[in-house]
């Protein structure tokens, strides 16, 4: 639907939030400029990480999902449904969307989001640079002390291993390409070396005198 080409963050919250259940049922109730078309909302349901992201505001407060949505955890089902229903809307992770497009799904469009600085369409670039309002950055923070432990080093190294890239990309994460991994591991090795160099010197045990007595 052309009128759903761009939504504000407030409209996104209105559409999906529990406060609209039973009262916001047609699109003109979201915006008077929209047609009086019935809303058909499909969502993966409560507890889904994408739902949590969609309904968490800038202050970190999460709003419950409205109960009158059609829930189905299969993104392919949701995409196929909105493709044939005027006024249909769903959401999914960027990785799921890429998979569905690669399978040849037609009749769906990306929805741009405006948080006050204009409409931003989701893409690898806008998600990576943080300009897409519904994207969220993920950082792994490890203390220097922990990085001296071999098992921690092994785990972090595994995360950025070539063999784990399919898991990362298939989990909805973006911003890292397979070709980036060698440079990341090179940086990790430098961090490991710095952590080892910063380790305090080992303390030599002090011999203790053992009292004896004459027999």
pLDDT digits 0-9 by tens, 1-60: 889 999 999 999 999 999 999 999 999 999 999 999 999 999 998 778 888 877 876 556
Do residues 88 and 50 both lie within one domain? Answer: yes
Residue 95's CB is within 10 A of a number of other CB atoms, namely: 16
User: Residue 6: helix, strand or coil by DSSP?
Assistant: strand
- pLDDT value, residue 117: 92
- pLDDT value, residue 70: 95
Its domain, for residue 79, covers: 2-128
Residue 158: pLDDT above 60?
yes
Do residues 122 and 192 both lie within one domain? Answer: no
* Number of domains within the chain: 2
pTM of the entire predicted model: 0.75
Do residues 180 and 103 both lie within one domain? Answer: no
Instruction: Name beta bridge partners: 112.
Output: 6
Residue 104 included in any domain: yes
Burial zone of 27 (CB within 10 Å; 0-12 exposed, 13-18 middle, 19+ buried):
buried
The per-residue pLDDT for range 164-174, each reduced to its tens digit, is 998 887 776 78
- pLDDT value, residue 177: 85
Do residues 115 and 170 both lie within one domain? Answer: no
Do residues 9 and 45 both lie within one domain? Answer: yes
- Which of 39, 93, 94 shows the shortest CA–CA distance to 68? 39
| Separation of alpha carbons 129 and 135, rounded Å | 9
Q: pLDDT class for 203, splitting at 50, 70, 90? A: low
Residue 35 included in any domain: yes
């Amino acid at each position: 639907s052309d009128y759903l080409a761009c939504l504000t963050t407030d409209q996104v919250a209105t559409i999906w939030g529990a406060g609209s259940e039973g009262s916001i049922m047609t699109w003109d109730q979201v915006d008077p400029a929209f047609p009086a078309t019935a809303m058909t909302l499909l969502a993966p349901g409560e507890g889904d990480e994408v739902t949590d992201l969609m309904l968490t505001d800038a202050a970190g407060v999460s709003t419950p999902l409205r109960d009158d949505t059609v829930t189905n955890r299969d993104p392919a089902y949701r995409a196929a449904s909105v493709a044939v229903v005027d006024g249909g809307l769903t959401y999914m992770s960027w990785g799921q969307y890429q998979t569905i497009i690669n399978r040849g799904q037609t009749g769906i469009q990306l929805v741009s989001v405006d948080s006050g600085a204009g409409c931003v369409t989701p893409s690898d670039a806008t998600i990576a640079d943080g300009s897409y309002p519904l994207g969220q950055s993920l950082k792994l923070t490890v203390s220097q002390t922990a990085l001296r432990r071999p098992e921690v080093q092994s785990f972090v190294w595994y995360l950025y291993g070539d063999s784990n890239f399919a898991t990362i990309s298939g989990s909805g994460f973006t911003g890292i390409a397979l070709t980036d991994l060698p440079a990341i591991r090179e940086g990790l090795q430098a961090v490991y070396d710095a952590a080892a160099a910063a380790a305090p010197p080992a303390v030599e045990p002090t011999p203790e005198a053992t009292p004896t007595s004459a027999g």
